[in-house]
Amino acid sequence: MMHIRSGNAFLSFILVTCLLVLAGCDNAPSQPQQQELLLQGKTMGTTYNIKLYATEQKLKNNTLHSDIEAALKNVNQSMSTYIPDSEINQFNRLGANEVMPISDDFRIVVAESIRLGINTQTLDVTMGPLIDLWGFGPDKRPTQRPTQTQLDAMIANIGVDKLSLSAQGLAKSVDGLELSFSATAKGFGIDKVAQLLEQNGISNYMVEIGGEMRVAGTKPGDKPWVIAIEQPDAPMGERRIHRTLTPGAMGIATSGDYRIFYEMDGEVYTHLIDPQTGMPIKHDLVSVTVLHPSAMTADGLATALTVMGTERAKAYAQANNLPVYLISKTAEGLKTYSSPAFAPYL
């Protein structure tokens, strides 16, 4: 079972499953009867929920659930830092300049992680040791804040620029460099399941792993999937809807710094860390929602934009025509921003 590092993109979505009352729905044209199937289980240290609609003929494949379980197990075996012989741990134990052949799945995730790291400068899949240093990994939280000397030494030995991906495999340029796909692995698992569903002729589905998701098609009656963004300042233990959206065929990911944190010596430290400074972020941006055809890419971008902060995230979204919804905390209360590319989904 894969346990994602605590430094991963944390998000919360509430799937709106209630039926929408639409005027004139009794007059909707008839269509082939579709059946609902709900598949659930555990993966990556969390749970998954898959809801799909298809005709009885397409659901005759009684191995669908076991095929999904097998696909997710393969993702775990490749990318879990909690499985001793996983592919990622084999690479993490590798010495500098040794080339390790890698699987196709691993190549996809590391290539996109490198691309996003270079493009955003705020997503770094090599900073697991830095996350551990701040006490958000498997180790206990520190009894005192890391020194600047410790942070400088750590920063000097991390970075996607120290990875080399070639046809032969993957290598690192410095000893001790480690990978953690906490910001991209769940999204990749979602994409794998979506691909499997589509290969089985299923085009109306919702796949959710640990709060991240991907939807396609519609529900019966040609009703769209309706997704709700969680209210970031809801009281602890409560989950409230901030607003809803209809994403169409998209991956959806939200990142925020409002739930995973600790206080030490009067300072609050969140689990999201800026790889350039080595410090946990401290700004007003508390929730970032990103839409992208790939759940993996949406996953990584949501984390990257949260680390950027409000103004940099706005600029990045506009420059890249990216569907983004931001929630910032101000003295006057929550302030929201919807990028031009996101507005059609609200």
Q: What is the pLDDT of residue 262?
A: 74
Q: What is the pLDDT of residue 261?
A: 73
Query: What percent of the chain has pLDDT above 70?
Result: 89
Q: Where are the domains of the chain?
A: 94-172
pLDDT band at 16 (very low <50, low <70, confident <90, very high): very low
The CA-CA-CA angle for residues 58, 60, 64, to 5°, reads 90
| 334 touches 233 (CB < 8 A) | yes
CA distances from 146 to 153, 154, 259, 279 (A): 11, 10, 22, 9
Q: What is the pLDDT of residue 257?
A: 58
Q: What whole-number distance in Å separates Cα of residue 88 and Cα of residue 6?
A: 17
pLDDT band at 131 (very low <50, low <70, confident <90, very high): confident
Q: What is the pLDDT of residue 31?
A: 56
Sign of CA dihedral 254, 48, 206, 18: negative
Q: What is the pLDDT of residue 119?
A: 97
Residue 302 has pLDDT above 80, yes or no: yes
Residue 68 has pLDDT above 50, yes or no: yes
| 157 touches 176 (CB < 8 A) | yes
Exposed, middle or buried, 77 (CB in 10 Å: 0-12/13-18/19+)?
middle
Q: What is the pLDDT of residue 20?
A: 31
Q: What is the pLDDT of residue 236?
A: 72
Q: Which of 126-140, 193-207, 300-314 has the lowest mean pLDDT?
A: 126-140
Q: What is the pLDDT of residue 287?
A: 93
Where is pLDDT greater, at 60 or 105? 105
Q: What is the pLDDT of residue 139?
A: 64
Whole-prediction pTM? 0.88
Neighbours of 186 (CB within 10 A): 32
- pLDDT, tens digit, 9 for 90 and up, residues 73-125: 999 999 999 999 999 999 999 999 999 999 999 999 999 999 999 999 999 99
Alpha helices for the chain (secondary structure H):
64-79, 87-92, 104-120, 128-133, 148-156, 185-199, 295-308, 310-319
Q: What whole-number distance in Å separates Cα of residue 177 and Cα of residue 310?
A: 30
User: What is the rounded average pLDDT of the residues 301-330?
Assistant: 96
- pLDDT, tens digit, 9 for 90 and up, residues 197-216: 999 999 999 999 999 999 99
Query: What percent of the chain has pLDDT above 90?
Result: 70
**CATH code given to domain 94-172:** 1.10.3980.10
Neighbours of 232 (CB within 10 A): 20
Q: Which of 157-161, 200-204, 232-236, 308-312 has the lowest mean pLDDT?
A: 232-236
Q: What is the pLDDT of residue 2?
A: 39
Helices 295-308 and 310-319: crossing angle, nearest 10°?
A: 140
The overall average pLDDT reported for the chain is: 88
Cross-strand bridge partners of residue 263 = 268
User: What is the rounded average pLDDT of the residues 45-67?
Assistant: 88
User: What is the rounded average pLDDT of the residues 240-247?
Assistant: 94
User: What is the rounded average pLDDT of the residues 165-190?
Assistant: 96
Q: What is the pLDDT of residue 9?
A: 38
Q: What whole-number distance in Å separates Cα of residue 38 and Cα of residue 52?
A: 7
Q: What whole-number distance in Å separates Cα of residue 315 and Cα of residue 218?
A: 33
pLDDT band at 235 (very low <50, low <70, confident <90, very high): confident
Neighbours of 60 (CB within 10 A): 9
User: What is the rounded average pLDDT of the residues 193-198?
Assistant: 97
